[in-house]
């Protein structure tokens, strides 16, 4: 059975635990990079990994490695301070790759 994980600052991700998702609070970029690489392995069986946008901008090169892989789908979510627009940009790029043009 596939799992769903959420990575980001503790105050952003802790609420997802109540929904039954696996949460991975990270305090620094080194820990976040290690966590992402660990949970993105096929044997960990994560279908979706939500990553807080503030963290994602620091991990962009790592996240880009998975953009063409069927799993895990890495989806950016806004943090407690609001959206940086990275999630919407990533979605638009994925749609353009899939459809061939910007339909959004």
Q: Contact, 79 vs 35, CB < 8 A? A: no
Specify if 104 maps to a domain: no
Specify if 58 maps to a domain: yes
Strand 46-52 vs strand 22-25: parallel, antiparallel, or unpaired? unpaired
Q: How many domains does the chain fold into?
A: 1
Specify if 23 maps to a domain: yes
pLDDT at 101 (0 to 100):
62
pLDDT at 48 (0 to 100):
93
pLDDT at 22 (0 to 100):
97
- In 38-95, where do the E strands start and end? 46-52, 73-77
Specify if 63 maps to a domain: yes
Ranges of H-type helices in the chain: 10-17, 29-39, 53-56, 60-64, 86-99
Domain of 40 in residue numbering reads as: 3-99
Specify if 83 maps to a domain: yes
Specify if 60 maps to a domain: yes
Total residues found in the chain within this entry? 104
Per-residue tens of pLDDT for the chain, all 104 residues? 899 999 999 998 999 999 999 999 998 999 999 999 999 999 999 999 999 988 998 999 999 898 888 889 898 888 777 555 555 555 555 545 555 666 55
**CA distance linking residue 53 with residue 64, whole number of Å:** 14
Looking up residue 45, the CATH number of its domain turns out to be: 3.40.50.10580
**CA distance linking residue 77 with residue 51, whole number of Å:** 6
């Amino acid at each position: 059975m596939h799992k769903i994980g959420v990575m980001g600052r503790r105050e952003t991700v802790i609420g997802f635990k109540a929904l039954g998702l696996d949460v991975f609070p990270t305090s620094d970029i080194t820990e976040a990079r290690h966590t992402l690489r660990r949970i993105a392995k096929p044997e960990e069986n994560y279908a979706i990994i939500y990553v807080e946008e503030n963290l994602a901008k620091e991990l962009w090169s790592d996240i880009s490695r998975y953009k063409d892989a069927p799993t895990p789908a890495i989806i950016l979510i806004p943090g407690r301070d609001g959206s940086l627009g990275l999630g919407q940009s990533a979605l638009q790029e994925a749609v353009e790759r899939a459809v061939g043009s910007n339909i959004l």
